[in-house]
Amino acid sequence: MTRATLAEVLQPALADGYAVGGLVCLGWEDMRAYTRAAEAERLPVILQAGPSCRKHTPLTVLGSMFAELAESASVPVVTHLDHGYSEEECRIAIECGFTSVMFDGSQKPLAENIELTGRIAELAHAAGVSCEGEIGFVGYSGGAGSEGTDPEEAAEFARATNVDAMAISVGNVHLQQNHEGGLDEERIRTIEAVTETPLVIHGGSGVPVSQRTALARASRICKFNIGTELRMVFGRALRNTLAADPEVFDRVSILSQVEEPIETAARAAIRAIGPDKETST
């Protein structure tokens, strides 16, 4: 299949009661493993290039890598810029073939966030690309604290920007290494009541899997970003490979042995938020 936009995978998810995994990529091995995982589960997937990925590899290169995987996959693959911090960065991603861009203006005043996000959404839509925005700041484990999303501001933001998806702050935290966080479901329900825009949870690794599943199937949350738990699998697999053979030095030999564990973990992550197979069969 060819590359899909964010809207093209989130609208069916919203209609049919499931969510799509936004899997955070850092290199070829994990993005290939994530694509294989999606094909094995017969589910769409969102390959995400966040700030750490872009620091390591230029957008021009990432665009080609994502395109290679998406265009040869048997399931819809969204190629997504995660946490773009400027209009210029989003514009470059669009020019490099990304099918979706996320502009993060969450730490800016509301009026400025709306103005910038709306302008980027217009730019993206003109190019046939989707746009995700964020209202309410999602903090970092061991770093800056979160600022919860105000439902009234969320309604204004969604209406004024015309984004295809809206990331919200409802107790989620980036880089959390356990599943003990939990989300504020009362706040989620209040936000749902004032907007029809598909909702996104960043920092999905910190959310208990059972809560991810329940919200994917019974809320407007259509996208969970998952990165830390998959990177932890990568780290463990890498250490095990090196421990098993202290003399191994070839990069290809080493990294080829970590893809299977990542693929297995990615399959479990996207299956947990995917369609309820008991009701969809």
Q: For residue 193, how many other CB atoms are within 10 A of its CB?
A: 10
Q: pTM of whole model > 0.95? A: no
Amino acid at the residue 180? E
Q: What's the alpha-carbon Rg for the chain, to the nearest Å?
A: 18
Q: What are phi and psi of 163, to 5 degrees?
A: -70, 155
Calculate the alpha carbon distances from 183 to 187, 189, 257 in Å. Answer: 9, 11, 35
Q: What is the dihedral of CA 64, 68, 70, 73, to 10 degrees?
A: -170
- Among 72, 157, 54, smallest CA distance to 112 is for 157
Domain positions in the chain? 3-227+265-280
Strand partners, 132: 102, 165
Q: Which two tokens stand for residue 239?
A: 């250490």
In tens digits, the chain (281 residues) has pLDDT values of 578 999 999 999 999 999 999 999 999 999 999 999 999 999 999 999 999 999 989 999 999 999 999 999 999 999 999 999 999 999 999 999 999 999 999 999 999 999 999 999 999 999 999 999 999 877 666 555 666 789 999 999 999 999 999 999 887 665 555 666 678 899 999 999 999 999 999 988 889 999 999 999 999 999 999 998 999 999 999 999 999 888 888 888 888 889 999 999 999 999 999 998 766 54
Catalytic positions, written as ranges: 82
SS (H, E, C) the chain: CCEECHHHHHHHHHHHCCCEEEEEECCHHHHHHHHHHHHHHCCCEEEEECHHHHHHCCHHHHHHHHHHHHHHCCCCEEEEEEEECCHHHHHHHHHCCCCEEEECCCCCCHHHHHHHHHHHHHHHHHCCCEEEEEECECCECCCCCCECCCHHHHHHHHHHHCCCEEEECCCCCECCCCCCCCCCHHHHHHHHCCCCCCEEECCHHHCCHHHHHHHHHHCCEEEEEECHHHHHHHHHHHHHHHHHCCCCCCHHHHHHCCHHHHHHHHHHHHHHCCCCHHHHC
Query: b/e per residue, 103-129, with b = 16+ CB within 10 A?
Result: bbbbeeeeeebbebbbebbebbbeeeb
Q: For residue 130, how many other CB atoms are within 10 A of its CB?
A: 24
Q: Could you report the per-residue pLDDT of 217-255, keeping only the tens digit for each?
A: 999 999 999 998 999 999 999 999 999 888 888 888 888
Structural domain 3-227+265-280, CATH architecture: Alpha-Beta Barrel (3.20)
Residues 6+ apart with CB under 8 A from 235: none
